[in-house]
Structure 1
Amino acid sequence: MGSESEEGRRARTRGLSCDFPQDGEMSGSSPFKMRFVHLDLKGAPPKVSYLSEIFPLFRALGASGLLIEYEDTFPYEGPLRLLRAPHAYSPSEVTEVLRLAAAHELEVVPLVQTFGHMEFVLKHEALAHLREVALFPNTLNPHEAESLALVGAMVDQVLELHPGARWLHIGCDEVYYLGEGEASRQWLQQEQNTTATLCLSHMRAVASHVRARHPATTPLVWDDMLRDIPEDQLSASGVPQLVEPVLWDYGADLDVQGKALLMEKYRQCGFPRLWAASAFKGATGPSQALPPVEHHLRNNLQWLQVAAQGRKDTLQGIILTGWQRYDHFSVLCELLPVGIPSLAVCLQSLLHGGFTEDVRARVQHLLGISSLEIAGVLSDILALVVQVSLHLRSSVDEMLQTDSLLGRWSGLAQELAAALHRVFPEDTVEEWLQENVHPSLGQLQALLQDLEAASPPPPPAGPGPGPDAGQGP
């Protein structure tokens, strides 16, 4: 047999067939005009070479855009340079990612956290004074003028590298401890001041900055901080004229009727357009290694039901989130290559309005596999992660007495490390192995050493030649 071609290796790495359909077929049965794939880069940012391989697949599966959450992988400059992670993309790499996306008709929406989930900013000593609560780096103090200047500068740098962006996601989800800082406590003592007012005020200030400095760009916000605010307060805040909320729910049993009612509430408050957000990975456990595809499929199918109940054209589109960490300090969850089959199932179901046998067959064709069962997926990363996740710990527990086990798992770990290095930077690979592989291998190694130390020494060799006497080297 001849050696494997480079294109064949690449296809096997990403778990895809070598030949993508390029017709970009879009179905009229989908209630979502736009389907954006979320790339969460605050953990395991893929190499640009890998993105160049999967963007054609995203398009073929029915994606129309990307929501890119850079966090500390964006190449901030000047005083913001301290926010860069060691593996941050360079400006030229960001430009190349945008070029690749455009080449495959994928519109890019950048995401910049501006209120909650600010750990990657507020963990730095130079910016710690801008925390809402001194002990916790997750929430920005909305009372400080410097806070708005900081996020404004972040927004400006990101949009400078994304000319023509129609939307910018400014986050604003899970603003924990809001109102618990000293400045907030004093502010809340004044009559009619509430945490809802405080939240809306900061959201309005950030969105106004975006609109003033970048008038062609519309801010998006996650909707969880808005859900419980009364309609009259939301309507009077001015926020509905500035942002488009993204209603997110990643559950397999979300309240369809409740979501439809929430959509109507937002419409009544004056929000002209809304978005939905489902998940294809990263939403079922902070250390999950393999995405439960059935859970994510059910989640996306229920969003189809929500869209069917709402007013036509209220929902601009849907964002399929793929979280890589639950927050900046959390461990890695499912890696992007491992989530590709789940993404494929969810995207195609959204595109065609359900998951039929025809859709299943189309997914299998697009992925170049004969079955959607785990064993049928060809990606070496996925296959190796499956083995590690399902069998490493249990086999170590059951078979600690055999040194051949250590050799087998060490070899597989080396193979997995090599596959991961083709997609991710060194520190991402090391982090994943430290979390998922090294503890079990270390346990096995230590036990084998203990067993070896406890074993009686071999009997002394008798006189005379050994078994290899007379043989050459």
Structure 2
Amino acid sequence: MSGSTPFKMRLVHLDLKGAPPKVSYLSEIFPLFHDLGANGLLIEYEDMFPYEGHLQLLRAKHAYSPSEVKEILHLARLSELEVIPLVQTFGHMEFVLKHAAFAHLREVALFPNTLNPHEAESLALVGAMIDQVLGLHGGSSWLHIGCDEVYHLGEGAASRRWLEQEQHSKAQLCLSHVRAVASHVLARHPGTTPLLWDDMLRDIPKDQLAVSGVPQLVELVLWDYRADLDIHDKVLLMEKYRECGFLRLWAASAFKGATGASQALPPIEHHLRNHAQWLQVAGSGPADTLQGIVLTGWQRYVTGWFSPYHRRRNLIHPVMVQHIQPEALSLLARWSSLVQELEAALQLVFYPDAVEEWLEENVLPSMQRLQGLLQDLSQAAAPQPPSTGPTPDTG
């Protein structure tokens, strides 16, 4: 791979927020990554990092110990893989904001995915996380600060008040937080350059991006996991970012995940086409525009976020409730109406005992499943204290 690719850096993404592997397994696959042409790792620790002090409650039950993190770094060096840690600092903050101690820092009280960018404590929180992670990754050339899919941005009470003042915009709100986080990284860790997912910046006008100061602070990672991505459109987007002042850009494809909420096996053809199209993008733009590529591998793509396991343990993400509950209620209403019509039609032909038997065998099981689903949704939607259990992932 390394002999035929335009990408100087070729990173394999390890998503540890779902079914993280043991260190002994990593010792087996790191040499394989190297043999296949990779020269780096993007490690998204989430709750597998051994946070300490007031952040210790973020640790998962089987979080890596400091010595295990050091062993991972040692194993990476043996396979000539440069390690870049990823710390979410804006969106995808469920593993932090689900805890009672930090729930007050949510942008919207019901949803633990987005950080409130107006609170000084929010920046202090992500700053402490960054400092602890980089403390165990001394000399890291890059730190990925996430900031993708910042859902519900601008919907909190503080944000709504801010947006009403002086014609502020959600774009300004996003750029302000990114600038603050990146500035913290550069001030406290001057040898480390922040990386940033690009999706929240794609639609921001060029002039606004250019004057924000963000292009001088971060390197953007353009992600697109589709098998039919628009190569010309991607080249134009790269040109836009360059004109705004982003001098170094990265790409991100996917080798698994990102194709739906229920995948038992990766659709290999889809991912191969995605990789091939990113190679075309790299060959279509100015030489050396793309610093490297991240081959992402997203976890928790088997049965999605509403599996029987999650339902039994009431580990249902509020976002899923918001998506599913209205449809389920509508379906139950249609079913109930249809059953009444069906029962009336059957009674014209059969005696009551035959009608009861047919409905109980052919209709009742489906109705009970739907009613059980709605019961679980109602329980998940009820106000509850912030969780301290496993985080249901949103991918």
Structure 1: give runs of 5+ residues left out of the alignment: 1-24, 333-426, 432-473
Partners of 1:296 and 1:113 in 2: CA distance: 25
Q: 1:317 aligns with which of 258, 271, 292?
A: 292
- Aligned twin of 1:98: 73
RMSD between superposed Cα atoms in Å? 1.6
> Per-residue displacement from partner, 1:56-106 (whole Å, max 9, x unpaired)?
000000001000000000000000000000011000000000000001100
Other-structure match for 2:134: 159
For residues 73 and 179 of structure 2, the distance between their equivalents in structure 1, rounded to whole angstroms, comes to 29
Q: Residue 126 of structure 1 aligns to a residue in which SS?
A: coil
CA contact (8 A) 1:250 1:279 kept: yes
CA distance in 2, matches of 1:116, 1:331: 21
Inter-partner Cα distance in structure 1 for 2:147 and 2:197: 6
- Tell me if the contact between 2:252 and 2:294 (Cα under 8 Å) persists in the aligned partners: yes
Deviations 1:218-257 (A, max 9, x none): 0000000000000000000000000001000000000100
One-letter amino acid of the structure 1 residue matched with residue 75 of structure 2: L
Who is 2:381 aligned against? none
Q: Which position in structure 2 is the counterpart of 1:83?
A: 58
Q: Is the contact between residue 37 and residue 63 of structure 1 (CA under 8 Å) also seen in structure 2?
A: yes
1:271 aligns with 2:246: yes
Mapped partners of 2:99, 2:178: distance in 1: 23
Of residues 37, 40, 57 in structure 1, which corresponds to 2:32? 57
Over the matched positions of the two proteins, sequence identity in percent amounts to 79
Which amino acid is 2:81 matched to? Answer: L
Q: Which amino acid aligns with 1:321?
A: T
CA deviations 1:366-385 (Å, max 9, x no partner) are xxxxxxxxxxxxxxxxxxxx
Alignment of 1:106-125 (within 5 A): 106-125=81-100
Inter-partner Cα distance in structure 2 for 1:324 and 1:87: 17
Aligned residues: 308
Which residues in structure 2 correspond to 1:281-296 (within 5 Å)? 281-296=256-271
The match for 2:358 is: none
- State the distance in 2 between where 1:269 and 1:83 align: 37
Aligned-pair distance for 1:331?
6.9
The amino acid across from 1:102 in the alignment is R
Is residue 26 of structure 1 aligned with residue 5 of structure 2?
Answer: no
Normalising by structure 2, we get a TM-score of 0.76
1:303 aligns with 2:281: no
Partner of 1:206: 181
8 Å CA contact 2:249, 2:289 repeated in 1: yes
The answer to whether the 8 A contact 1:287-1:331 is kept is no
Q: Distance in 1 between matches of 2:145 and 2:99?
A: 21
Partner of 1:384: none
Task: Look up the SS of the partner of 2:11 in the other structure.
Answer: strand
Contact 1:325 1:331 in 2 (8 A): no
Following superposition, the deviation at residue 34 of structure 1 comes to: 1.2
- Alignment match, 1:259: 234
CA apart distance, 1:330:
3.4
Given that 1:132 and 1:177 are in contact with CA atoms closer than 8 Å, whether structure 2 keeps it comes out as yes
| TM-score (norm: length of structure 1) | 0.64
**Cα deviation code 1:14-42 (max 9, x no counterpart):** xxxxxxxxxxx830x31111110000000
Does residue 247 (structure 1) correspond to residue 226 (structure 2)? The answer is no
Q: After the TM superposition, which residues 444-463 of structure 1 pair with which residues of structure 2 at under 5 Å, given as runs?
A: none
Provide the C-alpha distance between the structure 1 equivalents of 2:127 and 2:246, rounded to a whole number of angstroms.
Answer: 23
* Counterparts of 1:303 and 1:192, CA distance in 2: 38
Q: 2:171 aligns with which of 178, 182, 196?
A: 196
Quote the Cα distance in structure 1 between the aligned partners of 2:300 and 2:65.
22
2: CA distance, partners of 1:212 / 1:192: 30
Q: Secondary structure at the match of 2:57?
A: helix
8 A Cα contact 2:107 2:117, kept in partner: yes
Match runs of 1:340-355 below 5 Å: none
1:216 to 191, 197, 200: 191
Give the SS at the match of 1:225. helix
Aligned mates of 1:289, 1:35 — CA distance in 2: 26
Separation in 2, partners of 1:291, 1:264: 32
Cα distance, 1:287 vs structure 2: 2.5
CA contact (8 A) 1:278 1:300 kept: yes
The aligned amino acid for 2:221 is: V
What CA distance in whole angstroms lies between the structure 1 residues aligned with 2:306 and 2:246? 36
Paired residue for 1:148?
A: 123
Amino acid at match of 1:26: S
Which whole-Å CA distance do the structure 2 matches of 1:174 and 1:33 have between them? 27
Deviations 1:106-138 (A, max 9, x none): 000000000000000000011100000011000
Alignment-derived partner of residue 203 in structure 2: 228
* Residues 185-194 or 143-152, more deviating: 185-194
Aligned equivalents of 1:109, 1:287: Cα separation in 2: 29
Contact 1:109 1:168 in 2 (8 A): yes
Q: Name the SS of the counterpart of 2:269 in structure 1.
A: helix
Q: Which residue identity does 2:44 align to in structure 1?
A: E
Per-residue deviation at 1:49?
A: 0.4
Residue by residue, what CA displacement relative to the aligned partner does 1:337-387 show, whole Å, maximum 9, x if unpaired?
xxxxxxxxxxxxxxxxxxxxxxxxxxxxxxxxxxxxxxxxxxxxxxxxxxx
Aligned partner of 2:148 among 153, 173, 176:
173
Alignment match, 1:337: none
Shift in Å, 1:264? 0.3
> 1:307-456 residue pairs with structure 2 within 5 A?
307-325=282-300, 330=305
Letter in 1 for 2:2: M
Letter in 1 for 2:186: R
Structure 1 residue 238 corresponds to structure 2 residue 213: yes
Aligned partner of residue 46 in structure 1, secondary structure: coil
Name which of 18, 21, 34 aligns with 1:43.
18
Q: Is the contact between residue 19 and residue 300 of structure 2 (CA under 8 Å) also seen in structure 1?
A: no
**CA distance in 1 between partners of 2:248 and 2:220 (Å):** 8
Where 1:150 maps in the other structure, the secondary structure is helix
Equivalent residue letter for 1:50: Y
Please tell me the residue identity of whatever aligns with 2:146: G
Moved over 4 A (4+): none
Q: Residues 280-334 of structure 1, C-alpha deviation per residue, up to 9 Å, x if partnerless?
A: 00111222110000000000000001001111111000000000037xx9379xx
What one-letter code is carried by the residue in structure 2 that aligns with 1:86? K
Are the counterparts in 1 of residues 2 and 38 from structure 2 also a CA contact under 8 Å? no
